[in-house]
Amino acid sequence: MAERVLMKGNEAIAEAAIRAGCRHYFGYPITPQTEIAAYMAKKMPKIGGVFLQAESEIASINMVYGAAAAGMRVMTSSSSPGISLKAEGLSYIAGSDIPAFVVNVQRGGPGLGGIQPSQSDYFQATKGGGHGDYKMIVLAPASVQEMASLTIKGFNLADKYRMTAMILADGTIGQMMEPISFEDAQIETYEKPWALTGTNCERKHNVVNSLYLQPDELEKKNFERYERYKAIEQTEAMWEEYMMEDAELCVVAFGIASRVAKNAVAAARAEGIKVGLIRPITLWPFPTQALNAAADKVKGFISVELSMGQMIEDVRLATQCKRPVALCNRCGGMIPSPDEVLDSIRKAQKGEF
Amino acid sequence: MKTTQILIAGFGGQGILFSGKFLAYKGLMEDLQVSWLPSYGPEMRGGTANCNVILSETPVGSPIITAPDVLIAMNLPSLQKYVNTVVPGGQIYVDSSLIDAKVERTDVQVFYIPATQMAKDENIASLANMIIIGHLLQNHPELSFEGTDAVVNKLVPPKKAALIELNMKALTLGKEYSA
């Protein structure tokens, strides 16, 4: 068995990124993700990589844009308000069809908000955030081990599909320590014939750009991109099912909320309530197939979120409103207790949604 | 299924997070599942600090502790804030050199340890936390005192190697303390 070491979630992301071949980190500090930058600042110079604290979030995402265009494995990380600043760059990266890896360790919002954990950037991550028609692959780790494994997965997927993969974590998972092992890391590499690596006068120039002034050309680009998105939706959705075999109720939760929800599901089972949990691991693509299948078996759903109710809309869409969906939520940096979730489960059991 | 939820609370600077890390590593050495969750943010800078450590034979669910089995209170505000959250039958460790108050609950085990004074007397003023941890280990056979030196070695950075011996001294003081 590989040695288990204790690591903070944020440090696990940084170490996994380095193992995935990332040698370029551009960022700007913000709580609660600064350990990522600190780790990179310490390690990158020792392995011939680049750590650069930019003058702003906007600068750092554009440095990512540049390094990604040159075919490098590159990343940036921030927390909610910082991601809003990066939104323009994320849209340009999407419009240029190049891979990038971005981490959002969420804190309470809107505005400057607070620094405690939150999941209220779900819409921003899964529906856009920047302008225009685009998607990002959104990965939602629920443990320190997943902070690492989904980082490696994120780099792989970003290169495979030439798009941004985002880790959508929260302050709790970022700050906590758990045992972790890097034994199973699967690093994939992809050819990047489109990259700006210099022609050596031997080939035509490559161009990385998001400007298409001819509307028919831009439309064609968007159509092509959405064909790729469709393939991703069909093949890349990831989720975990917990006690769903005989479940009559289904809790849906991701990240730290799913950890709390698991305790509540176990407590409800001890009371004889047949409840299970579906934990989306990818938020985009959303595990529509799993939820739609569950909708044919269960009486209803409970969406547990650290927001005013954002994922609940995708739960309703995925289940085609076949069953009622209740919301159990806290926000602003507060986290529901297992008892609060248990109360929602008990109510749902009585038919109150 | 055995799970122990330990909440450590006190002022920033009392080594709250370090003692939590110690317990988490000790748990890891005993092949337990562990999680360690610190408070972070402005309260860390001179205000109150706390740390949630869960040691379990099964995978840890929520890392957030709402009903601790064990509370270590290193100052009065922490004791007042958390005393009623401890599960019946649980344990409370009180640094009685900093906290005059007594725990009124009768359904919990309380250990009063004048840790800060003991640390001062031995010239290891910053290690009151580890005196309490030493005492706690005595009461928790799933962790045991054995192997503590390996954990201390792992946690103390090489530059501060002198602290290894002092930490062991503090742990031993706590182990041997009786009221």
Please report the residues numbered 21 through 60 in chain B whose beta carbons come closer than 8 angstroms to any beta carbon of chain A.
Answer: 21, 24-25, 28, 33-38, 40-42, 60
In CATH, what number is assigned to the domain containing residue B13? 3.40.920.10
Write the pLDDT tens digit of every residue in B45-82. 556 789 999 999 999 999 999 999 999 999 999 999 99
Which residue in the set B34, B40, B61 is minimally distant from A178, CB to CB? B34
In this prediction, residue A183 has a pLDDT band, given cuts at 50, 70 and 90, of: confident
DSSP string, A148-167: HHHHHHHHHHHHHHTSEEEE
In this prediction, residue B144 has a pLDDT band, given cuts at 50, 70 and 90, of: confident
Range of the domain at B56: 3-176
Strand order in the sheet with A239-242: A239-242, A275-280, A249-252, A300-305, A325-329
Is B126 within 8 Å of chain A by CB? no
Write the pLDDT tens digit of every residue in A186-243. 999 999 999 999 999 999 999 999 999 999 999 999 999 999 999 999 999 999 999 9
CA atoms within 13 A on the CB side of A248: 11
A46-70 mean pLDDT: 98
Is B169 within 8 Å of chain A by CB? no
Which phi and psi (to 5°) does residue B50 adopt?
A: -145, 165
For β-strands B48-56 and A325-329, DSSP reports them as unpaired
CA separation for the pair A256, A169 (Å, rounded): 8
Q: Which residue has the tokens 């070491």?
A: A5
Structural domains in chain A plus CATH codes? 5-200+210-235 (3.40.50.970), 239-349 (3.40.50.920)
CA separation for the pair A44, A247 (Å, rounded): 48
Write the pLDDT tens digit of every residue in B94-103. 999 999 999 9
Q: Which two tokens stand for residue A31?
A: 């709580």
> Best mutation site among A116, A177, A337 for testing chain B: the one with the most B CBs within 10 Å?
A177
Which residue in the set B25, B41, B60 is minimally distant from A6, CB to CB? B25
Interchain contact, B37 vs A175, CB within 8 Å: yes
What is the chain A residue with the closest CA to B26?
A6
The complex's ipTM works out to 0.93
pTM of the predicted model as reported, rounded to 2 decimal places = 0.96
- pLDDT value of residue B46: 58
Q: Which two tokens stand for residue A21?
A: 């071949």
- pLDDT value of residue B108: 98
Is A337 within 8 Å of chain B by CB? yes
Number of domains chain B contains = 1
Residue A262 pLDDT greater than 70, yes or no: yes
> Best mutation site among A5, A6, A10, A172 for testing chain B: the one with the most B CBs within 10 Å?
A6
In this prediction, residue A2 has a pLDDT band, given cuts at 50, 70 and 90, of: low
Q: Which residue has the tokens 């207790």?
A: A337
Residue B130 pLDDT greater than 90, yes or no: yes
Residue B42 pLDDT greater than 70, yes or no: no
Q: Which two tokens stand for residue B112?
A: 């009063």
Orientation of helix B148-155 relative to helix B162-176, angle to 10°: 140
